[in-house]
Structure 1
Amino acid sequence: MTGSSSRDEVLRRIRVALADSPETAPVPRDYLTVHAERTPGETADLLAEHLADYRARVHRTDEAGLPATVARLLAEHGSRSVIAPPGLPAGWLSQLAGVEVIRAAAELTAAELDAVDSVVTGCALAVAETGTIILDGGPDQGQRRVTLVPDHHVCVVRAPAQVVDSVPQALPRLDPVRPLTWISGPSATSDIELDRVEGVHGPRTLDVVLVDGPPAAP
């Protein structure tokens, strides 16, 4: 018995074994969903603090200052090419000079992606208590691979609209069928002697831009 027939047989046996079992009791969810009361500003500050703990570089600006901040970060990195997902607002890149903007990144091979200097994206949410950025492949983020292969990722987070205190607060706002990527700082790993190596599973450099205030009117 192979393939789907094997799976069906296993599931059939499980159903038979559980046929006379009582229904599973509901799981209590009376735990704390957040560990402190904070203002939106305090939550954004906590996110910035924890991102820095994970060696992400955090930058604060407002909507008007966002294009200049993105341009500065790419210039400081020495970027000559940058991936911009199709849904990324054009205004975010309006002050770039001498940088090739790649919109059709989905057509690039892994080797071609590796040759791109940077990627700029938005995010789905950010979690302050864990210092985590969550991507869900939305129009301003693109496919997961475009945020994992280039060595430099600039991620824009709107505060307070996209910042929550805790993971329990984040989960109801996320679509579980979307390709969720949870990022806490630059990609890094350590061997048995605790020697840290960055850039193994994703970008070596993560710049997070916290944009304070509501988005500008279209």
Structure 2
Amino acid sequence: MTETARDIVMGRIRAALAAAPPERVEVPRDYDRQPLQGPADVARFAETVADYQARVLRIGADEIAGTIAALLPVGATVAVPGDIPPDWVAGLATVPDDPPLSNAALDATTAVVTGCAVGIAATGTIVLDGGAAQGRRALTLIPDHHICVVFAGQIVDTVPQGFAALNPLRPLTFVSGPSATSDIELERVEGVHGPRTLDVLIVEP
């Protein structure tokens, strides 16, 4: 398009907009931000997480270490945040990310074990914010297998409730199932943008 033609087209657009200014559209903001009344729907969270082809295990607090060990092959090396509770990974060959490991060192580990900040039942989403037992973002993106410990008390029902529980100034990572994408022929490919395997341990009282 020549400059003259472009000017003509843009002039017509401006004239049309001036003659009929767009009406103001009110966007509803009546989201369900109410705080939880009682516990969140843990069963719904487990179901929606599993819908994303993640493996979900509902366990007690005294089963964390044994369950994690059972999910790993013999001789596995496990990347962990520097502040992970030691009893979660008792008996495992851990590689603490403190000081930060190189990308090559992270890639060489069998799996990574972390906690999370929030779990959202409506969408099956796990949110990490770099807080306690979560580590930095690269820690959960490079290893091929992510085992995430989610306590029932960290689960909320809706996305607005999830955002209300999070600090927007922290580095938020939203995880909905293992990393997956599709090519133009809709062939699903896993592990392109993050872990190929996601195991979620829901710890209930």
TM-score between both structures, scaled by the size of structure 2: 0.81
2:184 aligns with 192
Report what 1:4 is aligned to.
none
Please state if 1:143 is matched with 2:136: yes
The CA distance in 1 between the partners of 2:49 and 2:157, in whole Å, is 13
Give the equivalent residue in structure 2 for 1:30: 30
Other-structure match for 1:82: 78
Q: Which residue among 103, 107, 115 is the counterpart of 2:108?
A: 115
Distance in 2 between residues matched to 1:186 and 1:165, nearest whole Å: 21
CA distance in 1, matches of 2:169, 2:203: 28
2:165 aligns with one of 164, 170, 173: 173
CA contact (8 A) 1:79 1:117 kept: no
Which structure's CA Rg is the greater one?
2
Equivalent position of 1:51 in the other structure: 49
Cα pair distance change 1:38/1:207, threshold 3 Å: farther
What's the offset of the Cα at 1:84? 1.4
Structure 1 residue 91 corresponds to structure 2 residue 87 = yes
Partner of 1:157: 150
The one of 199, 204, 209 equivalent to 2:196 is 204
Runs of at least 5 residues in structure 1 that lack an aligned partner in the other structure: 1-25, 214-218
What is the SS of the residue equivalent to 1:65? Answer: helix
Partner AA of 2:145 in structure 1: H
Q: How far apart are the structure 2 equivalents of 1:137 and 1:145?
A: 10
Say whether the 8 Å CA contact 1:156–1:210 is kept in structure 2.
yes
Map of 1:11 onto structure 2: none
Superposed structure 1 runs of 4+ greater than 4 Å apart:
none
Which structure 2 residue ranges, 5 or more long, are not aligned? 1-25
1:171-192: per-residue Cα shift (whole Å, max 9, x none)? 1110111110000000000011
The AA in structure 2 aligned to 1:158 is: F
Q: Report the identity percentage.
A: 52
TM-score (norm 1): 0.77
CA distance in 1, matches of 2:52, 2:37: 22
Residue 40 (1) aligns with residue 43 (2): no
Distance 1:209 1:112 in 2: 25
Separation of aligned partners in 2, 1:123 and 1:50: 17
Cα offset, 1:79, TM superposition = 5.6
Q: Which secondary structure does the structure 2 equivalent of 1:107 belong to?
A: coil
Give the length in aligned residue pairs.
181
What RMSD over aligned residues (CA atoms) do the two structures have, in Å?
2.3
